[in-house]
Structure 1
Amino acid sequence: MVGPMKKILIFGDGQIGNFYLEYFSAKDYQVQIAKGVDIRNFDQVAKAINDYRPSTVINTAAMTNLEWCGQHRLEAFDVNVLGAATVAKACDQAGVYLVHFSSGCIFSSRDGKDAKAETDAPNPSSYYGWTKVWSEEMVAFERSEDFKFLILRPRQPVSAQVNHKNMLVKMLTFTKFVDTANSGTVLEDLMDWTDQLIDKQVTGILHVANSGWTTPYQIALMIKESILPALEPAKITKAELDKMTPNTRVDTVLDVTRLEELGIKVKPYKQRLAETVKQLGDNIRSMDRAELKQQLEETAAASRQRTVLNSVYELLYR
């Protein structure tokens, strides 16, 4: 019964939205992205839902660039907060289960032992982080008693896809890396988790990250070993990094006990990272050089605004 019952409408066509589209399409579910819909416009959102009649809506739509959100606060609030409220209202009125994306960066952890649970009070260090806190509140605000919704908090999504939005691809262009504890979410795992969570109709707030943690510097060493031997990772302190970027560096470790208690098999982050980095390397080596160059140059253009670039990433497409 699961296959025919699952009909999914996705808001947001960024990295995560398209990951869901590919995943659910491969499983022969009915799924589509709501193209050309402004989530701030209730009539457009309601029409998309009423026309498609999904069993589940996944809302990944948001402005996610920290610097941009800090510099364009009204528009960021409009999309991330009011847009989330609009999608929730439309789902509530249509009687549709909603999966809404928040973020793990609403927390700051002191170290690897300072893992944050769903019940801990958020302490964002960026305006973007605050918009995600407010979005969670607006999803639940003045809804009917029957409205079912699930709020997911991922942390630093990574994958084996060669995509300029993938954090691992971004790291191919970096020179210096902090050596501080962070959780992470392998997107290939998140897809399966979400599938199971929808089947279970889980509600409330849920941290969705792989278990344990590692550091950006340790990830850089994996990248050097599996993808870019010429990379020479250097450590940088948070204080030094904060002088180079408009926003304070956020380090977050998430407690995923609730996810595991729901019967979801959560693999260790270090193990999955090693596997994902290796697969990313295989994908890079088999990719068309011109397309690879385009992805890496787009990555470098964005990275140049916040860090010191290396030059060895160019060896990957020469």
Structure 2
Amino acid sequence: MATNGTSSTNGDPNKVFLIWGGEGWVAGHLKELLQQQNEKVFTTTVRMENREAVIAELDRVKPTHVLNCAGCTGRPNVDWCEDNKEQVIRSNVIGTLNLTDCCFLKNVHCTVFATGCIYAYDSKHPPGGEGYLEADPANFGGSYYSATKSKVEELMTTYSNCLILRLRMPVSDDLHPRSFVTKISKYDRVVNIPNSNTILHDLLPCAILLASAGDTGVYNFTNPGAISHNEVLALFKKHVRPDFEWKNFSEAEQSKILKAGRSNCELNSDKLAKRMQDFGVQVKDVHTAYDECFQRMKANGVK
């Protein structure tokens, strides 16, 4: 069932946003942003793989824009997907394609919040070197989650109504359980590898701009640059939790406690940064974005 957000004459009367996966973490942030912009926004928890229900929901709400935040990532982490492959296919493959297809048939723009965890460092793209571009073929299938995500993305690019935003290790301004910072701050040990990250405070407004403008295709949806786990936790210690301590271990040691491999990579976000200049928006580099994120946490009393 969809639930109405807020609307106002200050928003665009020609736009209606419908957020799929409406009870999720990213969905909640998007709904709040759209409400702040006085846009007409609805949310839904209808299962994406249920074609009849999806069509009925689109007919009922009549959105101009769907923001797809639904999908299966696994709880407590992607290792869950290794033992529940049929459910992963049903949601992340059949469901995602079904929703995109139904939107196409209804002439509705569809933004899919996807993942950049489809790459791994290699000789051409080493740590600190060249980042992966949107057009580079996926080269990481070490987890079933990532393997399905790369395949479905390739198929989604067929659709002329579809915008694909590749998030990586998303971070919020609080210690929500789904936030990357919350996760690594609770681990006994962490690997120390540079990665691209998505600071939601900075980038979710960009998603609304891109969707509203009708952009399609793929964007690496990360703050420019890469940051290591140790650098993240050092900033966390500096601004939020002065007594915080952590330990490291190697990828080889990490692999012994995981069912599936983990993607480590840097995405090139030049395309996103250049497009945002058209809107007068500067996308902050990942180190600056993290520093400001933790400063906001401190100001809000997060510990």
Change (3 A) 1:189 1:5: farther
The corresponding residue for 1:101 is: 113
Query: Partner of 2:244: helix, strand, or coil?
Result: coil
Question: Following the alignment from structure 2 to structure 1, what is the Cα–Cα distance between the partners of residues 276 and 237?
Answer: 35
Structure 1 residue 148: deviation in Å?
1.6
Query: Partner of 1:262: helix, strand, or coil?
Result: helix
1:24 to 31, 34, 51: 34
Structure 1 residue 175: deviation in Å?
3.4
Structure 1 residue 28: deviation in Å?
0.9
The corresponding residue for 2:71 is: 62
Q: Does 1:277 pair with 2:287?
A: no
TM-score calculated relative to the size of structure 2: 0.88
1:194 to 207, 224, 232: 207
Q: 4+ residue runs of structure 1 moved beyond 3 angstroms?
A: 281-285
1:172 to 185, 208, 215: 185
Structure 1 residue 284: deviation in Å?
4.4
Number of aligned pairs?
281
Structure 1 residue 51: deviation in Å?
0.6
The corresponding residue for 1:301 is: none
Question: Following the alignment from structure 1 to structure 2, what is the Cα–Cα distance between the partners of residues 262 and 224?
Answer: 34
Question: Following the alignment from structure 2 to structure 1, what is the Cα–Cα distance between the partners of residues 298 and 89?
Answer: 37
Question: Following the alignment from structure 1 to structure 2, what is the Cα–Cα distance between the partners of residues 203 and 211?
Answer: 21
RMSD: 1.7
1:52 to 54, 61, 64: 61
Counting only pairs closer than 5 Å after superposition, residues 103-252 of structure 1 correspond to structure 2 as 103-109=115-121, 110-124=126-140, 125-140=142-157, 147-252=160-265
Q: Which runs of 5+ in 2 are unaligned?
A: 1-9
Structure with higher helix content: 1
The corresponding residue for 1:34 is: 44
Question: Following the alignment from structure 2 to structure 1, what is the Cα–Cα distance between the partners of residues 215 and 81?
Answer: 30
TM-score calculated relative to the size of structure 1: 0.84
Structure 1 residue 235: deviation in Å?
2.3
Question: Following the alignment from structure 1 to structure 2, what is the Cα–Cα distance between the partners of residues 132 and 283?
Answer: 35
Name the aligned partner's letter for residue 184 of structure 2: M
Query: Partner of 1:210: helix, strand, or coil?
Result: coil
Q: Which runs of 5+ in 1 are unaligned?
A: 286-315
Name the aligned partner's letter for residue 111 of structure 1: P
Structure 1 residue 223: deviation in Å?
1.4
Structure 1 residue 2: deviation in Å?
6.4
Query: Is 1:39–1:84's contact at 8 Å kept on the other side of the alignment?
Result: yes
Q: Percent identity between the aligned chains?
A: 26
Query: Partner of 1:3: helix, strand, or coil?
Result: coil
1:82 to 91, 94, 100: 94
